[in-house]
Amino acid sequence: MIESQNLNKLYKHSDVTQEKEKSICENIVFESLFYSHSDDIRNYIFYKCGDQQLAEDIVQETFLSLWHQCAKVPFKKAKYFLFRVAKNNFLNIIKHKKVILDHTKYFLPSEITNEDPEFIIEEKEFMIKLQKAILKLSNKQREVFLLNRIDGKKYAEIAVIIGISVKAVEKRMHNALLILRKEIGNV
């Protein structure tokens, strides 16, 4: 730790004209770039994503890219290169995550259940019976039944919506339930 701090001070205070002439491929120049820019790049990426670990990973990948291309990158443009590569790495990760999310929705089972398959079949059969029984109701009975059981409206609300008395709503609901019980059993 102390050694890296001393190296950092040494790199920051070294002769800038000598470093400009040196190649980034030299260890001392590369380390100087790392110590002088890694914190700024990490913070730049962290401010974009809010993920410290991701920011540190991108810094490592960025400097690895610089190392692989050290002969091609002039020292004067190293800082620009580092920030551009870091930004592109970040954008590629975001793009990749988006692709994964887009494809994940197609591969997830639409219905995950721990229910007994027999129960599921019985439930589907019951729903088919119920739908057929509801179709046998008169329009007025069906309207009141669905408003009450599906939309959760109270009789007074249904009366206001339809424009009839609460007693008429009760009568229609009573008749609807009688028909449904006859068709599918106890509702």
Confidence of residue 16 (pLDDT cuts 50, 70, 90): very low
- Distances from the Cα of 127 to the Cα of 22, 94, 103, 122, 179, angstroms: 78, 43, 32, 9, 16
Percent of the chain as helix, strand, coil, to the nearest 5: 80, 0, 20
Cα angle vertex 94, ends 38, 40, to 5°?
A: 15
Per-residue pLDDT band at 146 (split at 50, 70, 90) = confident
Q: For 156-181, what is the mean pLDDT?
A: 91
Using one digit for the tens of pLDDT, what is the confidence trace for 89-100? 988 988 888 877
175 pLDDT band, cuts 50/70/90, is: very high
Mean of pLDDT values over 143-161: 88
Share of the chain above pLDDT 70, in %: 82
Is residue 174 over pLDDT 60? yes
Mean pLDDT of the 33-47 span: 88
Question: Amino acid identity, residue 86?
Answer: A
Asked if pLDDT for residue 171 goes beyond 90, the answer is: yes
Is the pLDDT at 18 greater than 50? The verdict is no
> What is the pLDDT, as a whole number, of residue 105?
63
What pLDDT score was predicted for residue 109? 55
Mean pLDDT of the chain: 81
Give tens-digit pLDDT for 115-144.
778 888 888 888 888 888 888 888 889 888
